[in-house]
Amino acid sequence: MSAPARLSIEGVTVAFGDVSALSGVSLEVPAGDFLGLLGPNGSGKTTLLRVISRALAPQLGEVKLDGEDLRRYAPAELARRMAVVPQISVPTLDFTAGELVRMGRSPYQGRWGVETRLDREVAEEAMRLTSTLPFEGRVAGTLSGGEYQRVLVARALAQEPDLLLLDEPTAHLDLSAQIGLLELLHRLNRLQGITVVAVLHDLNLAATYCRRLAMLHRGRLVSLGSPEEVLTVERLREVYDAETLVRPHPLTGRPMVVPVPGSEGAFPEGPRPRVHLICGGGTGAGLLRALHVRGYPLTAGVLNAGDTDHAAARELGIPVAEAPPFSAFPPESMEAAGAMMEAAEVIVLTDTPFGPGNLPNLLALSKAQREGKRVLIVVPDPKRDWDFTDGAAAALRSAVESAGAERVANAAEALAALVPHRPV
């Protein structure tokens, strides 16, 4: 290798007939960078990689390698600087794995393609690094998809490139092989300075191994920066049309993307009322999640720290009035909950069990109702014990219902009742 490669992409535009694939994409890839290209299917990732590799000529714009227009490089010269690992199909070639890898040495072999001892040594080292030596003599058509993918990576490494382009390199690989391959790329990038640009679908693997990320959406570059800058809840919602949680990984500190289940279906239009949930013991987690992904402003509590609903609210970033674990609610916790109920437009009481410790929540609910708050009550399951207060909780719930609270059978009905302008 000569030196790490610096890549410049300037105003690249590609269209296939009337279909726009890339629209004015510009970005800089510094020498020694490890850049992950992200985006949903059809966003232009593979098209951009094909333009960078000179397999596709853009209608507008240009790509430069170390300041030099790619079009000025002779093919053999470019092959010594840049290697490409494409998306793969089922291998049908009659070549052995070893022969395929040694093909990566062709840019160094001149017109007659004479293989030298150095060529064999470099190819063997590439196979060792990618754990493909055990099937060096196997015909490519007998390899699994994952094995063949690793052979293609070995062939690219045999080129000794300064810039390595990979299109979904972890496709067809099991989890162990995915991690092994990305660890290898990370090591080559860090220790040998190879500039790496890879199309990746797994956001968490991209966040773990890439120095920077570039996110494409409908052929446009919508975000470029560190994983922390690119992988945000708002941007993932915009680009992937998906509700997620983004939290620091407990070991690496890198962003960790967690999909939020149950976020499908029609979302209400117009302003959402502010909702406060009185819940506990896991009875409110599903409703908290469903309301959160639909954009409702939420609060919850009082909840004991460590309670399932407390954990759900904290994970979703919902403000919660909390009390110490396994203890009665102190006055300051009740004051916080009272302020939350005062700010809410609707208070929802789930079918949570009540004991002496959390009974003050019902007293606060009754007070808020008298002050004019709308109240929804999820009817308790008659097969389950929920009142452990010698009847005090049942009496309070009954009084709240008699004062006009709306009864719903479950969380789904509660959600329906909260849709703006829609009665129960």
Structure tokens at 352: 């949570």
pLDDT at 91: 62
pLDDT at 261: 62
89, pLDDT greater than 70? no
422, pLDDT greater than 50? no
262, pLDDT greater than 60? no
Q: What is the mean pLDDT of the chain?
A: 88
In angstroms, rounded to a whole number, what is the distance separating the alpha carbons of residues 31 and 164? Answer: 12
86, pLDDT greater than 90? no
Q: What is the mean pLDDT of residues 386-415?
A: 88
Q: Which residue has the higher pLDDT, 380 or 283?
A: 283
Structure tokens at 393: 């909780």
In angstroms, rounded to a whole number, what is the distance separating the alpha carbons of residues 177 and 394? Answer: 57
In angstroms, rounded to a whole number, what is the distance separating the alpha carbons of residues 131 and 192? Answer: 19
pLDDT at 113: 67
424, pLDDT greater than 50? no
Please calculate the CA angle 373-278-274 and round it to the nearest 5 degrees: 50
Give me the CATH topology for the region 7-259.
Answer: Rossmann fold (3.40.50)
Residue 69 has φ and ψ, to the nearest 5°, of -55, 130
Q: What is the mean pLDDT of residues 104-115?
A: 79
Residue 125 CB burial class (10 angstroms; 0-12, 13-18, ≥19): middle
pLDDT at 268: 56
Q: What is the mean pLDDT of residues 266-289?
A: 83
Give the residue among 424, 353, 421 at the shortest CA–CA distance from 393.
Answer: 353
266, pLDDT greater than 70? no
421, pLDDT greater than 60? no
Share of the chain above pLDDT 90, in %: 51
Listed by start position, the domains of the chain span: 7-259, 275-417
What DSSP string describes 293-337? HTT--EEEEEEETT-HHHHHHHHHT--EEEE-TTSPPPHHHHHHH
- The 10s digit of each residue's pLDDT in 129-152 is 888 999 999 998 888 877 888 888
Q: What is the reported pTM?
A: 0.68
387, pLDDT greater than 80? yes
pLDDT at 88: 67
- The 10s digit of each residue's pLDDT in 167-179 is 998 887 888 888 9
- Residue 191: C-alpha distances to residues 1, 28, 184, 222, 386 (Å): 13, 22, 10, 31, 61
Bridge partners, 376 (sequence order): 348, 406
Cβ neighbours of 306 (radius 10 Å)? 11
pLDDT range class, residue 360, cuts 50, 70, 90: very high
Q: What is the mean pLDDT of residues 302-328?
A: 90
423, pLDDT greater than 70? no
pLDDT at 269: 63
Bridge partners, 85 (sequence order): 166
- The 10s digit of each residue's pLDDT in 34-67 is 999 999 988 999 999 999 999 999 999 999 998 8
Domains 7-259 and 275-417 share a fold: yes
Q: What is the mean pLDDT of residues 157-185?
A: 89
| CA 104 to chain CA mean position, Å | 34
22, pLDDT greater than 90? yes
Domain 275-417 class, CATH top level: alpha beta
159, pLDDT greater than 80? yes
pLDDT at 326: 85
Q: Which residue has the higher pLDDT, 211 or 387?
A: 211
Please state which of the ranges 75-79, 223-227, 275-279, 417-421 shows the lowest mean pLDDT.
Answer: 417-421
Which residue shows structure tokens 């849709």? Answer: 419
Q: Are 350 and 277 in contact (CB under 8 A)?
A: yes
The alpha carbons of the chain give a radius of gyration, in whole angstroms, of 29
355's CB contacts (< 8 A; 6+ apart) are: 388, 389
Q: How far apart are the first and last CA of the chain?
A: 70
